[in-house]
Chain A
Amino acid sequence: DAGITQSPRHKVTETGTPVTLRCHQTENHRYMYWYRQDPGHGLRLIHYSYGVKDTDKGEVSDGYSVSRSKTEDFLLTLESATSSQTSVYFCAIRGGPTVNEKLFFGSGTQLSVL
């Protein structure tokens, strides 16, 4: 299994509070991704990173920010959580830029915003 750890695995928070989800990898992979999975929507890309301090937006980036200060860590922050951000969040890593390099996913973080 690829060395990806997401923390926390479960979180319940209140509307308006800041939340940070952490993705840690031990593979030294360059590319890291944050996806959210929702019923009826599948997997949607929030943000991704192609190197330390190099990040870009995905299709559902509003309300989210990311940071990558080290190769191994990619943080996803909800500045002010809303109920629409209740979801399962998956981190993924890839060694190279092309899809021939497989995407490996973490086990997910279940976030509930009340």
Chain B
Amino acid sequence: DQQVKQNSPSLSVQEGRISILNCDYTNSMFDYFLWYKKYPAEGPTFLISISSIKDKNEDGRFTVFLNKSAKHLSLHIVPSQPGDSAVYFCAASGSQGGSEKLVFGKGTKLTVNP
């Protein structure tokens, strides 16, 4: 039973345009959400997070939006750059699952074309 879903395995955008990566979750007990970025042959690195008490969090070119009623979050990258090409993982945690554990989605591979 997949609790965190990233339904788009891949996404391709042009440099300078907006990239929108989506994530859906099923567990209503999740209350903290994170995005990790992974380059080939490297470990994932933390990108941005959002608590369920907020509906938006911004960090430079990266913004995460949370729609609790729809159990949906999205990561916006504006403007997209070729260096943003990577696999992006959505992750969630909550009191039911134990805050020490994260549940990850399957990832979306973003390709930004020059």
Contact = CB atoms under 8 A, between A and B. Distances in A.
A104 B105 CA distance: 17
Contacts of A58: 101
Contacts of B102: 45, 99, 103
A93 to B, nearest CB: 11
Interface string B76-98: 00000000000001010100000
* Overall SS of chain B's interface: loop
Interface string A41-68: 1111100101000000010000000000
A42 B106 contact: yes
Interface string B57-76: 00000000000000000000
B86 to A, nearest CB: 13
A70 interface: no
Given A40-B106, A42-B106, A108 B100 contact: no
A48 B97 CA distance: 14
Interface size bracket, A side: 20 to 34
Interface size bracket, B side: 20 to 34
Contacts of B91: 43
A31 interface: yes
A42 B46 CA distance: 15
A99 B106 contact: no
Interface in A86-102: 90, 92, 94, 97-100, 102
B93 A99 contact: yes
A58 B104 CA distance: 12
A90 B99 contact: no
- Nearest first, the 4 A-B pairs at minimum CB distance are A105-B43, A42-B106, A43-B104, A99-B93
